[in-house]
Amino acid sequence: MSEVARLYRYKSLFSGRTAISAIELQRELEISPATFKRDIAKLRDQLNVPIVYDRALGGYRLSPSQKVAELPGIWFTHDELLALVSIEHLLSQLEPTVLASTLKPIQGRLAQLLEELGFANQSFGMKILLLQSKKRTLPPKLFESVAAATLIGKRIKILHRNRHTSVTVERVVSPLRLVHYRDNWYLDSWCHLREGLRSFSIDAIENLEALNDDGIKVSKESLHAAMGAGYGIFSGKTITWATLKFSPKRSQWVSREVWHPNQKSSFEADGSFVLMIPYSDDRELIGDIMRFGPEVEVMAPQSLKSKVHSTLLAALSRFVS
Protein backbone atom coordinates (compact mmCIF):
# COMPACT_ATOMS: atom_id res chain seq x y z
CA MET A 1 0.00 0.00 0.00
CA SER A 2 1.41 3.41 -0.99
CA GLU A 3 1.79 6.17 1.58
CA VAL A 4 -0.99 8.26 0.01
CA ALA A 5 -3.37 5.30 0.00
CA ARG A 6 -2.45 4.51 3.60
CA LEU A 7 -3.08 8.08 4.76
CA TYR A 8 -6.40 7.97 2.94
CA ARG A 9 -7.21 4.79 4.86
CA TYR A 10 -6.53 6.51 8.20
CA LYS A 11 -9.29 8.97 7.49
CA SER A 12 -11.74 6.19 6.72
CA LEU A 13 -10.85 4.34 9.92
CA PHE A 14 -11.20 7.41 12.13
CA SER A 15 -14.50 8.51 10.60
CA GLY A 16 -16.15 5.20 11.41
CA ARG A 17 -15.08 4.81 15.05
CA THR A 18 -15.13 6.90 18.24
CA ALA A 19 -11.59 5.72 19.06
CA ILE A 20 -9.22 3.04 17.79
CA SER A 21 -6.09 1.74 19.48
CA ALA A 22 -2.58 1.89 18.06
CA ILE A 23 -2.43 -1.90 17.89
CA GLU A 24 -5.68 -2.06 15.91
CA LEU A 25 -4.48 0.62 13.51
CA GLN A 26 -1.18 -1.15 12.92
CA ARG A 27 -2.92 -4.46 12.34
CA GLU A 28 -5.51 -2.95 10.00
CA LEU A 29 -2.88 -1.08 7.96
CA GLU A 30 -0.24 -3.83 8.23
CA ILE A 31 2.48 -1.44 9.37
CA SER A 32 5.18 -1.38 12.05
CA PRO A 33 5.02 0.76 15.22
CA ALA A 34 7.72 3.04 13.76
CA THR A 35 5.72 3.64 10.58
CA PHE A 36 2.61 4.26 12.67
CA LYS A 37 4.39 6.96 14.68
CA ARG A 38 5.65 8.65 11.50
CA ASP A 39 2.16 8.56 9.98
CA ILE A 40 0.50 10.12 13.03
CA ALA A 41 3.15 12.86 13.12
CA LYS A 42 2.68 13.65 9.43
CA LEU A 43 -1.10 13.69 9.69
CA ARG A 44 -0.94 16.10 12.64
CA ASP A 45 1.97 18.37 11.77
CA GLN A 46 2.01 18.52 7.96
CA LEU A 47 -1.56 17.77 6.97
CA ASN A 48 -3.35 19.42 9.93
CA VAL A 49 -5.55 16.43 10.70
CA PRO A 50 -6.75 16.87 14.35
CA ILE A 51 -5.83 13.43 15.71
CA VAL A 52 -5.84 13.14 19.52
CA TYR A 53 -5.21 10.28 21.92
CA ASP A 54 -8.17 9.71 24.22
CA ARG A 55 -6.94 8.03 27.44
CA ALA A 56 -10.47 7.35 28.64
CA LEU A 57 -11.32 5.45 25.46
CA GLY A 58 -7.84 3.96 25.12
CA GLY A 59 -7.31 4.96 21.49
CA TYR A 60 -6.90 7.62 18.82
CA ARG A 61 -9.74 9.68 17.40
CA LEU A 62 -10.47 12.95 15.61
CA SER A 63 -10.98 15.96 17.84
CA PRO A 64 -14.64 17.04 17.66
CA SER A 65 -13.67 20.64 18.49
CA GLN A 66 -11.50 21.08 15.39
CA LYS A 67 -12.49 21.15 11.74
CA VAL A 68 -11.09 18.27 9.72
CA ALA A 69 -9.18 19.71 6.78
CA GLU A 70 -9.74 18.20 3.35
CA LEU A 71 -6.30 18.55 1.81
CA PRO A 72 -5.58 19.06 -1.90
CA GLY A 73 -5.38 15.73 -3.60
CA ILE A 74 -4.29 13.78 -0.56
CA TRP A 75 -7.66 12.06 -0.12
CA PHE A 76 -8.18 11.30 -3.80
CA THR A 77 -7.84 7.77 -5.09
CA HIS A 78 -6.77 7.50 -8.73
CA ASP A 79 -10.36 6.66 -9.75
CA GLU A 80 -11.77 9.68 -7.91
CA LEU A 81 -9.18 12.00 -9.40
CA LEU A 82 -9.86 10.70 -12.90
CA ALA A 83 -13.60 11.18 -12.39
CA LEU A 84 -13.13 14.75 -11.13
CA VAL A 85 -10.81 15.70 -13.99
CA SER A 86 -13.11 14.07 -16.54
CA ILE A 87 -16.12 16.02 -15.27
CA GLU A 88 -14.26 19.32 -15.45
CA HIS A 89 -12.89 18.45 -18.89
CA LEU A 90 -16.31 17.52 -20.29
CA LEU A 91 -18.03 20.58 -18.85
CA SER A 92 -15.34 22.92 -20.19
CA GLN A 93 -15.90 21.49 -23.71
CA LEU A 94 -19.68 21.70 -23.55
CA GLU A 95 -21.16 23.49 -26.54
CA PRO A 96 -23.89 26.17 -26.13
CA THR A 97 -26.93 23.91 -26.35
CA VAL A 98 -30.05 23.55 -24.22
CA LEU A 99 -28.14 21.10 -22.01
CA ALA A 100 -25.35 23.60 -21.42
CA SER A 101 -27.60 25.97 -19.43
CA THR A 102 -28.95 23.04 -17.42
CA LEU A 103 -25.46 21.81 -16.50
CA LYS A 104 -24.07 25.29 -15.74
CA PRO A 105 -24.92 24.99 -11.99
CA ILE A 106 -22.98 21.71 -11.86
CA GLN A 107 -19.94 23.45 -13.31
CA GLY A 108 -20.28 26.18 -10.68
CA ARG A 109 -20.58 23.61 -7.87
CA LEU A 110 -17.50 21.82 -9.15
CA ALA A 111 -15.53 25.08 -9.11
CA GLN A 112 -16.70 25.65 -5.52
CA LEU A 113 -15.63 22.13 -4.54
CA LEU A 114 -12.18 22.63 -6.05
CA GLU A 115 -11.83 25.91 -4.16
CA GLU A 116 -12.76 24.19 -0.89
CA LEU A 117 -10.06 21.62 -1.60
CA GLY A 118 -7.44 24.32 -2.05
CA PHE A 119 -7.50 24.66 -5.83
CA ALA A 120 -8.84 28.21 -5.99
CA ASN A 121 -8.15 30.03 -9.27
CA GLN A 122 -6.58 26.91 -10.75
CA SER A 123 -7.72 24.57 -13.48
CA PHE A 124 -7.13 20.86 -13.37
CA GLY A 125 -6.59 21.17 -17.10
CA MET A 126 -3.35 23.02 -16.33
CA LYS A 127 -2.11 20.25 -14.06
CA ILE A 128 -3.57 17.06 -15.52
CA LEU A 129 -4.01 16.38 -19.23
CA LEU A 130 -6.57 13.97 -20.67
CA LEU A 131 -5.48 12.91 -24.16
CA GLN A 132 -8.01 11.53 -26.60
CA SER A 133 -6.99 9.02 -29.24
CA LYS A 134 -8.67 8.56 -32.63
CA LYS A 135 -11.76 10.51 -31.59
CA ARG A 136 -14.11 10.88 -34.55
CA THR A 137 -16.06 14.09 -35.16
CA LEU A 138 -19.71 13.95 -34.20
CA PRO A 139 -22.36 16.59 -35.08
CA PRO A 140 -23.81 17.86 -31.76
CA LYS A 141 -27.40 17.92 -33.06
CA LEU A 142 -27.15 14.31 -34.20
CA PHE A 143 -25.89 13.18 -30.82
CA GLU A 144 -28.62 15.16 -29.03
CA SER A 145 -31.30 13.46 -31.14
CA VAL A 146 -29.89 9.99 -30.50
CA ALA A 147 -29.51 10.69 -26.77
CA ALA A 148 -33.04 12.12 -26.48
CA ALA A 149 -34.59 9.11 -28.21
CA THR A 150 -32.60 6.76 -25.98
CA LEU A 151 -33.65 8.50 -22.77
CA ILE A 152 -37.36 8.75 -23.59
CA GLY A 153 -37.54 5.33 -25.25
CA LYS A 154 -38.73 6.31 -28.76
CA ARG A 155 -37.86 4.62 -32.04
CA ILE A 156 -35.72 6.35 -34.65
CA LYS A 157 -35.20 5.80 -38.37
CA ILE A 158 -31.53 5.99 -39.27
CA LEU A 159 -29.44 5.86 -42.42
CA HIS A 160 -26.31 4.06 -41.29
CA ARG A 161 -23.11 3.41 -43.23
CA ASN A 162 -21.23 0.21 -42.45
CA ARG A 163 -17.62 1.17 -41.81
CA HIS A 164 -16.20 -2.05 -43.28
CA THR A 165 -18.39 -2.56 -46.36
CA SER A 166 -19.29 1.13 -47.01
CA VAL A 167 -22.88 -0.03 -47.60
CA THR A 168 -25.57 2.39 -46.41
CA VAL A 169 -28.79 0.88 -45.02
CA GLU A 170 -31.95 2.57 -43.77
CA ARG A 171 -33.43 0.90 -40.72
CA VAL A 172 -35.73 1.55 -37.76
CA VAL A 173 -34.20 0.92 -34.35
CA SER A 174 -35.26 1.08 -30.71
CA PRO A 175 -32.40 2.82 -28.83
CA LEU A 176 -31.45 1.04 -25.60
CA ARG A 177 -28.25 2.63 -24.32
CA LEU A 178 -25.36 4.92 -25.28
CA VAL A 179 -21.84 3.52 -25.02
CA HIS A 180 -18.67 5.63 -24.84
CA TYR A 181 -15.82 3.37 -25.90
CA ARG A 182 -12.26 4.36 -26.81
CA ASP A 183 -13.24 8.03 -27.11
CA ASN A 184 -16.16 7.38 -29.47
CA TRP A 185 -19.92 6.99 -29.05
CA TYR A 186 -21.98 3.95 -29.99
CA LEU A 187 -25.67 3.14 -29.79
CA ASP A 188 -26.82 -0.27 -28.57
CA SER A 189 -30.30 -0.88 -29.91
CA TRP A 190 -32.88 -3.34 -31.18
CA CYS A 191 -32.81 -3.33 -34.99
CA HIS A 192 -36.31 -3.92 -36.37
CA LEU A 193 -34.87 -4.65 -39.82
CA ARG A 194 -32.66 -7.51 -38.59
CA GLU A 195 -34.88 -8.42 -35.63
CA GLY A 196 -31.95 -8.49 -33.25
CA LEU A 197 -29.65 -6.46 -31.03
CA ARG A 198 -27.08 -4.34 -32.87
CA SER A 199 -24.48 -1.71 -32.01
CA PHE A 200 -24.12 1.32 -34.29
CA SER A 201 -21.30 3.85 -34.41
CA ILE A 202 -23.13 7.18 -34.03
CA ASP A 203 -20.68 9.07 -36.26
CA ALA A 204 -21.62 6.65 -39.08
CA ILE A 205 -25.29 7.72 -38.96
CA GLU A 206 -25.83 9.91 -42.04
CA ASN A 207 -29.46 10.81 -41.40
CA LEU A 208 -31.91 10.45 -38.49
CA GLU A 209 -35.66 10.82 -38.16
CA ALA A 210 -37.38 10.74 -34.77
CA LEU A 211 -40.52 8.58 -34.67
CA ASN A 212 -43.51 8.67 -32.33
CA ASP A 213 -43.60 4.91 -31.80
CA ASP A 214 -42.42 3.60 -28.45
CA GLY A 215 -39.26 1.54 -28.58
CA ILE A 216 -39.26 -2.06 -27.46
CA LYS A 217 -37.69 -2.86 -24.12
CA VAL A 218 -34.89 -5.34 -23.52
CA SER A 219 -33.81 -6.49 -20.07
CA LYS A 220 -30.42 -5.49 -18.75
CA GLU A 221 -29.44 -9.14 -18.51
CA SER A 222 -30.36 -9.88 -22.13
CA LEU A 223 -28.57 -6.77 -23.34
CA HIS A 224 -25.40 -7.69 -21.48
CA ALA A 225 -25.54 -11.29 -22.66
CA ALA A 226 -25.70 -10.19 -26.28
CA MET A 227 -23.55 -7.05 -26.25
CA GLY A 228 -21.16 -7.48 -23.34
CA ALA A 229 -19.98 -11.08 -23.52
CA GLY A 230 -17.47 -10.76 -26.36
CA TYR A 231 -14.32 -8.73 -26.84
CA GLY A 232 -14.55 -4.99 -27.50
CA ILE A 233 -17.47 -3.20 -29.09
CA PHE A 234 -18.68 -6.01 -31.35
CA SER A 235 -21.64 -8.10 -30.25
CA GLY A 236 -22.67 -11.71 -30.69
CA LYS A 237 -23.93 -14.60 -28.60
CA THR A 238 -21.55 -17.19 -30.05
CA ILE A 239 -18.40 -16.95 -27.97
CA THR A 240 -14.97 -18.29 -28.91
CA TRP A 241 -11.92 -18.14 -26.66
CA ALA A 242 -8.67 -16.71 -28.00
CA THR A 243 -5.38 -17.77 -26.40
CA LEU A 244 -2.54 -15.29 -26.81
CA LYS A 245 1.05 -15.78 -25.66
CA PHE A 246 3.13 -12.66 -25.04
CA SER A 247 6.92 -12.61 -24.93
CA PRO A 248 8.69 -12.21 -21.56
CA LYS A 249 9.63 -8.68 -22.66
CA ARG A 250 5.99 -7.67 -23.04
CA SER A 251 4.57 -9.83 -20.25
CA GLN A 252 5.36 -7.41 -17.44
CA TRP A 253 3.17 -4.79 -19.11
CA VAL A 254 0.36 -6.85 -20.63
CA SER A 255 -0.14 -8.75 -17.37
CA ARG A 256 -1.34 -5.48 -15.79
CA GLU A 257 -3.94 -4.83 -18.48
CA VAL A 258 -7.60 -5.85 -18.45
CA TRP A 259 -8.63 -6.82 -21.97
CA HIS A 260 -11.94 -8.35 -20.87
CA PRO A 261 -13.71 -8.72 -17.48
CA ASN A 262 -13.80 -12.52 -17.87
CA GLN A 263 -10.26 -13.01 -19.11
CA LYS A 264 -8.02 -15.81 -17.81
CA SER A 265 -4.26 -15.61 -17.55
CA SER A 266 -1.11 -17.38 -16.39
CA PHE A 267 2.68 -17.09 -16.56
CA GLU A 268 4.90 -19.65 -18.27
CA ALA A 269 8.18 -20.87 -16.80
CA ASP A 270 10.17 -18.74 -19.29
CA GLY A 271 8.33 -15.57 -18.25
CA SER A 272 5.86 -15.56 -21.13
CA PHE A 273 2.33 -14.41 -20.34
CA VAL A 274 -0.67 -16.39 -21.62
CA LEU A 275 -3.95 -14.49 -21.93
CA MET A 276 -7.32 -16.08 -22.74
CA ILE A 277 -10.07 -13.77 -24.00
CA PRO A 278 -13.68 -14.45 -25.07
CA TYR A 279 -14.75 -12.90 -28.38
CA SER A 280 -17.65 -13.10 -30.78
CA ASP A 281 -16.27 -10.97 -33.63
CA ASP A 282 -12.54 -11.02 -34.38
CA ARG A 283 -12.16 -7.68 -36.19
CA GLU A 284 -11.19 -5.52 -33.23
CA LEU A 285 -9.22 -8.31 -31.59
CA ILE A 286 -7.08 -8.82 -34.71
CA GLY A 287 -6.27 -5.11 -34.77
CA ASP A 288 -5.15 -5.19 -31.14
CA ILE A 289 -3.06 -8.33 -31.68
CA MET A 290 -1.24 -6.74 -34.61
CA ARG A 291 -0.11 -3.83 -32.44
CA PHE A 292 2.28 -6.19 -30.66
CA GLY A 293 3.95 -7.52 -33.81
CA PRO A 294 6.49 -10.27 -33.00
CA GLU A 295 5.88 -9.95 -29.25
CA VAL A 296 2.66 -11.98 -29.37
CA GLU A 297 1.66 -15.38 -30.73
CA VAL A 298 -1.88 -16.61 -31.35
CA MET A 299 -2.05 -20.09 -29.82
CA ALA A 300 -5.76 -20.75 -30.46
CA PRO A 301 -8.10 -21.02 -32.19
CA GLN A 302 -6.56 -21.95 -35.53
CA SER A 303 -9.11 -19.81 -37.41
CA LEU A 304 -7.95 -16.67 -35.58
CA LYS A 305 -4.30 -17.59 -36.09
CA SER A 306 -4.88 -18.00 -39.82
CA LYS A 307 -6.68 -14.64 -40.08
CA VAL A 308 -3.88 -12.80 -38.26
CA HIS A 309 -1.34 -14.54 -40.51
CA SER A 310 -3.15 -13.55 -43.72
CA THR A 311 -3.67 -9.98 -42.46
CA LEU A 312 0.04 -9.62 -41.70
CA LEU A 313 0.97 -10.98 -45.14
CA ALA A 314 -1.41 -8.53 -46.80
CA ALA A 315 0.13 -5.68 -44.82
CA LEU A 316 3.65 -6.84 -45.69
CA SER A 317 2.83 -6.87 -49.39
CA ARG A 318 2.24 -3.11 -49.19
CA PHE A 319 5.84 -2.54 -48.19
CA VAL A 320 7.56 -4.91 -50.61
CA SER A 321 8.80 -3.21 -53.77
CB 156, CB 145: distance < 8 Å: yes
Per the domain annotation, does 201 fall within a domain?
yes
Q: Is the domain of 154 the same as that of 180? A: yes
Per-residue pLDDT at 178: 92
Please identify, among 202, 227, 252, the residue that sits at the C-terminal boundary of a domain: 227
Q: Is the domain of 101 the same as that of 158? A: no
**Tell me, what CATH number does 282's domain have?**
3.30.70
Task: Give the tens place of pLDDT for each residue, 145-201.
Answer: 999 999 999 999 999 999 888 899 999 999 999 998 888 899 999 999 999 999 999
Secondary structure of 131-143 in HEC code, one letter for each residue:
CCCCCCCCCHHHH
Per the domain annotation, does 68 fall within a domain?
no
Parent domain of 286: 240-317
Taking CA atoms, 89 is separated from 51, 109, 140, 142, 143, in Å, by: 36, 14, 17, 21, 18
* Dihedral-angle region of residue 236 (phi above 0 means left; psi in -120 to 50 means alpha; beta otherwise): left
Per-residue pLDDT at 101: 63
Query: In sequence order, which residues have a C-beta less than 8 Å from that of residue 157 and are 6 or more positions away?
Result: 170, 171, 172, 208, 209, 211
Q: Is the domain of 103 the same as that of 173? A: no
Per the domain annotation, does 235 fall within a domain?
no
Q: Is the domain of 122 the same as that of 55? A: no
Q: Is the domain of 101 the same as that of 146? A: no
Q: Is the domain of 184 the same as that of 159? A: yes
CB 155, CB 162: distance < 8 Å: no
Cα 46–chain centre separation? 34
Cα–Cα distance, 222 to 145 (Å, whole number): 25
Per-residue pLDDT at 91: 65
Q: Is the domain of 244 the same as that of 288? A: yes
Per-residue pLDDT at 43: 85
Cα–Cα distance, 189 to 202 (Å, whole number): 12
Q: Is the domain of 262 the same as that of 312? A: yes
Backbone angles phi, psi at 189, to 5 degrees: -155, 170
Per the domain annotation, does 70 fall within a domain?
no
Q: Quickly list DSSP for 183-196.
A: TEEEEEEEETTTTE
Cα–Cα distance, 123 to 118 (Å, whole number): 11
* pLDDT, tens digit only, all 321 positions of the chain: 667 667 777 877 887 667 899 999 999 898 999 999 998 988 888 777 888 898 888 899 888 766 555 544 444 555 666 676 677 666 666 555 545 566 667 667 767 666 655 555 555 556 667 777 888 888 878 988 999 999 999 999 999 999 888 899 999 999 999 998 888 899 999 999 999 999 999 999 999 999 999 999 999 888 888 887 788 887 677 899 999 999 999 999 999 999 998 999 999 999 999 999 999 999 999 999 999 999 999 999 999 999 999 999 999 999 887
Peptide bond into 140 cis (omega under 30): no
CB 155, CB 213: distance < 8 Å: yes
Per-residue pLDDT at 72: 44
**Residues in the chain, total:** 321
**Tell me, what CATH number does 33's domain have?**
1.10.10.10
Helix (H) or strand (E) holding 208: strand 205-214
Query: In sequence order, which residues have a C-beta less than 8 Å from that of residue 140 and are 6 or more positions away?
Result: 95, 97
Per the domain annotation, does 133 fall within a domain?
no
User: What is the total count of domains within the chain?
Assistant: 4
